[in-house]
Structure 1
Amino acid sequence: MQLPESLFAIALLIVLSAFFSLSELSLAASRRLRLRQLAVDGDLRAEQVLKLQEAPGDYFTVVQIGQNAVAILGGIVGEGALTPSLSRVFALWTQESTANTLGFVCSFFFITSLFILFSDLFPKRLGMAEPERWAMRALTPMAWFMRIFKPIVWLYAKTTDLVFGLLGIQTTRDERITSEDILAMTEAGARAGILAAREQQVIANVFELDSRTVSSAMTQRERIAFFLRDDPDEVIRARIAEEPFSTYPVCDGDIDHVVGYVDAKDLFQRVLNNQALSLKDEHLVRKVLIVPDRLTLAEVLDQFRLVHEDFAVIVNEYSLVVGVVTLNDVMSTVMGDLVGPDDEEQIVRRDENSWLIDGVTPIEEVLRALHLDELPHDDEYETLAGFMMVMLRRVPRRTDSVSFGGYKFEVLDVDSFRIDQVMVSRLGDTGAPAAKEGADTGFTENI
C-alpha cells in the first residue's frame, strides 16, 4: 500500500480499537442504580446493558478479540507503511543499516503512541466520564460483533470456563449492595457537594441503629421521674412542676415494679377541668411497653411500631429497671440536634483542644467528636463512664484519668459513684501509642 492508504488504514484501526476500549470500560463502569433508574424511565437500552452486566463473558471476549486483532494489524500496517519511508530519510545522513534500524524504531514508537493515546487513554477517560451513556450507545454495534464472532467466542468462552473451573474461581459477580457500599456513596456525595455534611451524617446514623443498643439512647435510671400509684394529688402536681416531662412511669412501691405510665397531656387535661389527679384510675394509667436492655435501637423501633407506642421501660436480665426510652430519643440518635429535648448538650467543646463530656454520653458520639476510630475493649461498655470504669478496673474517683489515642480523659465530678462529667484534653503528642492491655494499661491515676 502507498503511504496515504497505509495512514488511512492505521486511522481506521485506531478508531476500531478505540471503540472496543470504550465499550469495555463503559460496561464495566456503568452504575447499576443509575441503569435501573433509566430503565424505569423507559429506556430499553439500559435494561439490555443490565442484562449484559449480569453475564458479560461473551461481550468481553469479543472486545479482547477485536483489540488484539486490531493491535496486530496495526503493527503490520504501520511497520510496512512508515519504516521504508523513514529509513530513506535517515539514509541521507547515516549508513543504510543504521537508517533501517532508526526507521523501524521511529515507526514503532509513532504507531504505538497513536494507539496508546487515541485507542486507549482517550476512549477510557471518555467512558469513565459518562459510562451509562456510552455503554448504551455501543450496545447495537457490539451486538453485531457478537453475532459475527459467535463461533470463536463460544470456543474461547468454554476454554476460559474450563480454566476457571479447574482453579476453583467464582466467575459470577456479587451484586448485593451492603451498608458499607451505601455509606461510601454518601461520603463521596458529601465530598462532591451533592449531599450536605449534616445529611450524610443522618444517613450514617440510620445504619448505626442496628449496632447501637437501647442503653446508648435511654434516660438512665437515676434520672427517671416517676410516680407511685398511691401518690396523692398534691405530690403529683408538685412533681410535674418540678420535673416537666411528656411521660411518667407509674410504679407500685418502687421503680422496679412498673405497672404502667401516664401521659402528661392527660394530667394537664384533668388539671384544666379542675379534676383530682389519682393514678388509681385505670383510664388514666396506660399499659407500658417493657423491653430488655440488649435490644438494638432498630429493634426498639420495631417494638414501637408493633404496639403503636412511643415510650418504653428498659429492664436488665434481673428484671430491674435501668432506664426509659422514647421515640424521640431514638430519632435524636439519627437526626442529631435537629430532633431532641431541650436538655443540656452532652458534649461541649471548650476550646480547640478540650471537651467537657457527660459520663452517660454514648461512646459512638464520643468517637465522632474526637475523630477516633475505636477505643480499647469497646465491646465491654456503651458510654464514656463505662470506658473509664473498664480502663481503671474500678469505680472512678474525681481526678482519675486515662490516656489513649492522643487524648487524656479526666473525671471531674462523681455523684454517688456515677460519673457526671469527664474532661477530655488533647495531649501535645497526638501520635501517642494506644493503651496496652494487662499491667501496663496506659492510664494514669491521680488520688
Structure 2
Amino acid sequence: MMTAIVVLSLLVLINGIFAMSELAVMTSRHARLERLEARGSRGAAVALSLSREPTRFLSTVQVGITLVGVLAGAVGEQALSGRLEPIVASVSPLAPWADAISLWIVVLLITYFTLVVGELVPKRIALAHPEAVATAISRPLNALSVIAAWPIRVLSWSTEGILALLRVKARSTDDVSEDDVRALIVRAASTGVFTPQEHRLFQRIMRAGDLRVRDLMVPRRNIIWIDESEPIDSVRVLVGTSPHSHFPVCRGDLDHCVGVVHVKDLIAYGLIAGREFKVTTVAHTPLFVPETMPALRLLDQFQSTKVHIAFVVDEHGGLQGMLTLNDVTQSIVGDVSRKGEAGLPTMHRRDDGSWLVDGRLPVVDLVAGLGLPAPVEHSLPDVSTVGGLIHAVLDRIAQEGETLSWQGWTIEVVDMDGATIDKAIFTKQ
C-alpha cells in the first residue's frame, strides 16, 4: 500500500508540473523572455519557441496530463480500493456496499489531491512567476514533445483541421492594443511603479498620439503678422508690444505668407538700433503643413528641417493657423510658457465640482479630463476644440449664457469673443 501511495504522489506531482508549465508558457510575456534569451538563457529561447507553436505544446501537455490521470486511476483502483474494502466491510451497515464505497473514497481522495497539489497550487506558482517557470520547464517539455512526436503530430493535425472547419483563426499572442497600454500605465501608477509626475507624462504622451496640428494651432484670427511693406518703425512697435517670438511675414493678407521672422534675427539686424531694412531680408522660408497632420509627425518634421514654426493650411490651401515647436512639446510636458506668453488652453476644476474649460482646449483633452469612456472620443463630430464641439452639438453658433446637455454634462457658455467661445463651464448632471 505504501508503494501505491508513493506512486500516486509522484503522478500527482507530475500532473502539477504539466499544469504549471501550460499556464507559465502561455502567460509569459514575450518581451521578458526575449530579454532573457538575449542574456544567453537557452530555456527562455525554448519557451518562446513553444509559445509560438501552441498546438504542439498544448498537445504535449494534454497527452501528459491524460496519461497521468489514467495511471492514477488505475493505481488507485487496484492498490488502494482493494485494501480499503475490508475496512469498510467491517462496518456491518456498510458491508453490502463496501466495494462501491471504498472505490468512491479512493476517487474522492485522488481528486482532492490532484486538484490541490496537481492543479491549483502549481497554477498559482505559474501565475506568480510565469517567465521563471517557463524558462525552467521548457527544455524537458520540448524533449518530451520530440519523443512523443508522432502522437502529438496526429493530435495537432486533428486540432488544426477542426479549427479550419470552424473557421477559427489563430491570434498572435503579441497583439497589444492602445487600451492595453493605457491599462498597464494606470496599473503601474496605482502600484507605485510610476510616480504621479511620470504617470501624467505618460498620459500626455498617449494623448499626444491622438492629436492633429489643428488641435494645437493658434487659430488664424489670433495670429499677429507683419506685412512685408510695413514701415520698419511700425514693425518695431509691433514686436516691442507683443509677447510672441515668431511673426509671419505676408504680402497683403495671411493667405500670401512669404516667410517668418524671429525676434532675435530682427534684433541682430539692427531693429532696435533703428537701422533701416526690409523685414523680408531676415525672413526664413515658411513651413506649410496640412491641418490633418498628426502632431507627433510634425514634431519629427521640426527636428529634420530645423524649422520650428509651421503654418497650417486646409484642403483648399487657405491658412487656418500656425504653431511652433513649443506648442507641440507643451502638449506632452505641460504648460511651460514664460511670463507674458499665452499658455496652453486649460480646464480647471472649481470648488463646486464643475469644470471651467477653455474654448480652445482639444476635445481629446476634454474627454480625458472629464473621465469619459474612450469610445466617446471617436463618436464626436469632426471638430478639434471644445468651442467647435459646442457649436457642432447645437448645430449653430452658440450664444453667451446659453446652456446645453452633452454626455451627461450640462454646458454653459460663459464667455465669447464674437463667434468664438472663450470659456465654458461643464457641470455633471
Using the size of structure 2 for normalisation, the TM-score is 0.91
Query: Of the candidates 313, 323, 326, which is equivalent to residue 325 of structure 1?
Result: 323
* SS, match of residue 95 in structure 1: helix
Identity of aligned pairs, percent? 27
Matches of 2:172 and 2:410 in 1, distance apart? 47
Contact 2:381 2:389 survives alignment (8 Å): no
| Counterpart residue number, 1:185 | 184
Given the alignment of the two structures, is residue 107 of structure 1 paired with residue 106 of structure 2, yes or no? yes
Q: Secondary structure at the match of 2:264?
A: helix
For structure 1, which segment, 187-196 or 265-274, has the greater mean C-alpha deviation from structure 2 after superposition? 265-274
Equivalent-residue separation in structure 2 for 1:205 and 1:81 (angstroms): 67
Q: Shift of the alpha carbon at 1:135?
A: 1.1
Which residue of structure 1 aligns with residue 87 of structure 2? 89
What is the DSSP-based 3-state SS (H/G/I as helix, E as strand, rest coil) of the residue aligned with 2:350? strand
Greater shift, 133-142 or 230-239, is seen at 230-239
> Structure 1 pair 166/355, CA: closer, same or farther in 2 (3 Å)?
closer
- Please list, as runs of the form range in 1=range in 2, the aligned pairs for 1:143-292 lying within 5 A after superposition: 143-171=142-170, 173=172, 175-271=174-270, 274-276=273-275, 278-282=277-281, 284-292=282-290
Deviations 1:163-221 (A, max 9, x none): 33333333463644444443343333223321234434433443444532211101122
Q: Match for 2:36 among 32, 35, 38? A: 38
SS of equivalent residue, structure 1 residue 120: helix
Match of 2:314 in 1: 316
**Whole-angstrom CA distance in 1 between matches of 2:113 and 2:365:** 55
Residue of 298, 301, 314 corresponding to 1:300: 298
What is the match of residue 403 of structure 2?
401
CA distance in 2, matches of 1:413, 1:37: 55
Deviates more, 1:135-144 or 1:172-181: 172-181
Distance 2:171 2:234 in 1: 69
Partner SS, residue 425 of structure 2? strand
Distance 1:168 1:281, change over 3 A: closer
Deviation at 1:244, TM superposition (A): 1.6
Tell me the secondary structure at the aligned position of residue 425 of structure 1. strand
Q: Residue 327 and residue 381 in structure 1: after superposition, are their counterparts in 2 closer, same or farther (change >3 A)?
A: same
Structure 2 distance, partners of 1:189, 1:339, is: 30
- The one-letter amino acid paired with 1:165 is A
Distance 1:262 1:16 in 2: 76
Distance 1:265 1:360 in 2: 29
Deviation at 1:400, TM superposition (A): 0.9
In 2, Cα distance between the equivalents of 1:249 and 1:409? 36
Counterpart amino acid of 1:321? Answer: L
Change in Cα spacing, 1:368 to 1:230, as seen in structure 2 (3 Å) is same
What root-mean-square deviation, in Å, do the aligned CA atoms of Structure 1 and Structure 2 show? 2.4
- The amino acid across from 1:328 in the alignment is N
Distance 1:181 1:304, change over 3 A: same
Query: In structure 1, what residue type is equivalent to 2:400?
Result: R
Report which stretch shifted further, 204-213 or 355-364.
Answer: 204-213
SS at match of 1:245: coil
Gaps of 5+ in 1: 428-447
**TM-score, normalised relative to structure 1:** 0.87
Deviations 1:128-148 (A, max 9, x none): 111111111112321332233
Cα deviation for residue 310 of structure 1 reads: 1.1
Secondary structure, in 3 states, of the residue corresponding to 2:254? coil
Q: Which residue of 1 aligns with 2:391?
A: 389
Distance 1:321 1:357 in 2: 26
- 1:334 is matched with 332
| 1:371 to 1:261, Cα distance in 2 relative to 1, 3 A | same
Q: 1:32 to 1:352 in 2, by over 3 A?
A: farther
Deviation at 1:246, TM superposition (A): 1.8
Query: Paired residue for 2:133?
Result: 134
Cα deviation for residue 307 of structure 1 reads 2.4
| Worse overlay, 341-350 or 6-15 | 341-350
Aligned to 1:17: 15
Given that 2:356 and 2:423 are in contact with CA atoms closer than 8 Å, whether structure 1 keeps it comes out as: yes
Q: C-alpha separation between the residues in 1 aligned to 2:272 and 2:398?
A: 50
**Corresponding position of 1:416:** 418
Q: CA deviation at 1:375?
A: 6.1
Task: Report the CA distance shift for 1:166/1:426 in structure 2 as closer, same or farther (over 3 A).
Answer: closer
Shift of residue 376, structure 1, vs aligned partner? 8.9
Amino acid at match of 1:397: Q
Letter in 2 for 1:225: I
Using a 3 Å threshold, how does the CA distance of structure 1 residues 399 and 46 change in structure 2: closer, same or farther?
same
CA contact (8 A) 2:227 2:250 kept: yes
* More contact order relative to length (CA 8 Å, sep ≥ 6): 2
> Counterpart in 2 of 1:71?
69
| 1:7 match | 5
* CA distance in 1 between partners of 2:56 and 2:316 (Å): 63
Output the CA distance in 1 between the equivalents of 2:302 and 2:344.
26
Match of 2:372 in 1: 372
Q: Distance in 2 between matches of 1:77 and 1:342?
A: 82
Alignment-mate amino acid for residue 415 of structure 1: D
User: What letter is aligned with 2:411?
Assistant: F
Cα distance in 2 between the residues matched to 1:334 and 1:109: 61
For 1:352-363, what aligned pairs fall within 5 Å after superposition? 352-363=352-363
Distance 1:172 1:232, change over 3 A: closer
Question: Displacement, 1:352?
Answer: 4.4
- Number of residue pairs aligned between Structure 1 and Structure 2: 424
